[in-house]
Amino acid sequence: MTGEKANSSLNTPSDRLMNGGEIVMQALRDNGVEHIFGYPGAAVLPIYDEIFQQEDIKHFLVRHEQGAGHAAEGYARSTGKVGVMLVTSGPGVTNSVTALQDALMDSIPIVCLSGQVPTSLIGTDAFQECDTVGITRPCTKHNFLVQHIDDLAKTIHLAFRIAAAGRPGPVLVDMPKDVLFASGTYVSPDKVSPLPSYQPAMQGDQNAIRAAVALMAEARRPIIYAGGGVINSGPEASRLLRELVDLTGFPITSTILGLGAYPATGPNWLRVAGQGGSHEANMAIGDCDLLIAIGARFDDLATSRIHEFSPHSKKIHIDIDASSINKRVPVDIGIQGDAAHVLADMLHAWRSLSSVPDQKRLRAWWTQIDHWRPRHSFSYERLDHTIMPQHALERLHALTKPHDPIIATEIGQQMWVAQFFGFDKPNRWITSGGLGTMGFGLPAALGAQLANPGRLVIDIAGDASVQTTMKELSTAIQHQAPIKIFILSDEHPGMARQWGQVPDGNGRSRAYSASLPDFTKLAEAYGAIGLRCESPRELDARIEEMINVDRPVLFDCRVARLADAHPQ
């Protein structure tokens, strides 16, 4: 028996030699990875040799490395887990940069495993060599160059911890080809010490929390401003946020990335704020006496002119990233900590007040907010013979809501979706908030669909942006991912056209109807289903047809050519 135990011990991953490819795959297993999005190349062939000899981890072959990155983002945003992408050296890395920067700006946890030329050739302008560490330093939370096989497992474990710790973000591990071919000892995650610099405080300062609650108790015109940090914290943070809103009676709005943190059907919801946001949300921010920002970074699209942003309010800012506090907007109380932890402590402090504030003191504030609501800032003209994009999205939302869909968008359709879709739960909304990446939606929807088989996943796209990553429809066909691509076809680069005509009223973009592909035929060429709708009367039936098809669908919805997203 003793001998059997000894032999078994020798066979554990931590006690036997492995080549680089084996180490990578074992490290991925030990970090809970089930899906990888990648594209092979010479520098990463040892990893692919191992991928094809196992079944624990599914590899999805994309058509471009940018698609791998956005698919990993969609996977992460829809599951709360770390997304993984695998690319080769040189152009494989450079093709990934847009996705890495997108993930950095939107705080999405991704681990990018990249191949590199052999260590002896680094710096010689070898075939498919690039300075991966130098190129990706500005667009990653951290990056590594592994120079010895015995550091490989440790580095991958650290990459996963860093990607998910604190404010999430992308981490890259660059692996030279000779390291992957070498043999070394595997080290399990529990034997790797964390990096001290990536251990942010999860619990907020209790004195600051009590001071914040004291301000909340005195406020007469408060508003809660939720950001993507609430969703990144996990489902518990969203639950606690709803509890805080119910307990205090405060109105609540959110950033673009915060949609779903509080239910859109909730009684205290003022809809999205910022550029393109609702009149009541923006007016309430401008007139409030207390602004409570939770997991929001006060970006320029949310604040506009910084000196005019909520000028009369005291401000509380809760964020896991200390560098975000007082970065753009000076605040009265800054609390560094995880949203769920801080919200739990705030609820406790509120309930511990010697005299719990009566919600009656907010009646005048709610009366004012109700006075702003009839402005109907998202209203539009309805036409009998032309589909307005707003109407298309209203009907899409109404018909898909019973299915609890996951919605991804391209950048030009982002604001319309934020206005006309209501998200009652977190992790249902996937968009490129910070970088505003054309082509994000299709591969992001693909990643979400592969992570959530059986769910209805829709990419709401434009006829220009969808073509930038259209090739990933082939990936969806190969892996039987029934994503729905709902194209608002207006024959223009819509957002660029609208913004281009703002200064002087003259558009500086041109229609390209003569060069647009026939999307229904294009869908059929890929092996997908192509649908087209040109009449408002046919819209509901066509959308139902799209929903009921268990295959990838390209839906060409012909909308008004010069419709704008308002307010602006």
Q: How far apart are CA 64 and CA 47, in angstroms?
A: 18
Here the tokens at position 358 are: 């009566």
Please classify residue 34 by burial: count the beta carbons closer than 10 Å to its beta carbon, then call 0-12 exposed, 13-18 middle and 19+ buried.
middle
Given the residues 154, 177, 314, 315, the one annotated as active site = 177
495 included as an active-site residue? yes
**Which residue shows structure tokens 């809809």?**
271
73 included as an active-site residue? no
Cβ atoms of 460 and 483 within 8 Å: the answer is no
**Which residue shows structure tokens 């498919």?**
128
388 included as an active-site residue? no
Given the residues 22, 26, 60, 65, the one annotated as active site = 65
The residues, any chain, with a CB within 8 Å of residue 170's CB and separated by 6 or more, are: 100, 103, 104, 108, 109, 110, 111, 112, 139, 140, 141, 163
**Which residue shows structure tokens 């090739």?**
471
CB atoms within 10 A of CB 272: 24
How is residue 387 annotated by DSSP? B
Given the residues 127, 218, 359, 524, the one annotated as active site = 127
Closest CA to 378 of 386, 388, 368, 387: 388
**Which residue shows structure tokens 């929001």?**
296
Q: Which helix (H) or strand (E) holds 184?
A: strand 183-185
Closest CA to 116 of 42, 47, 64, 49: 42
Q: How far apart are CA 362 and CA 374, in angstroms?
A: 20
128 included as an active-site residue? yes
DSSP alpha helices (H): ranges in 95-141? 97-105, 132-136
116 included as an active-site residue? no
Given the residues 346, 415, 438, 495, the one annotated as active site = 495
Residue 316, strand partner residues: 292, 333
Q: Hey, which residues are catalytic here?
A: 65, 127-128, 177, 495
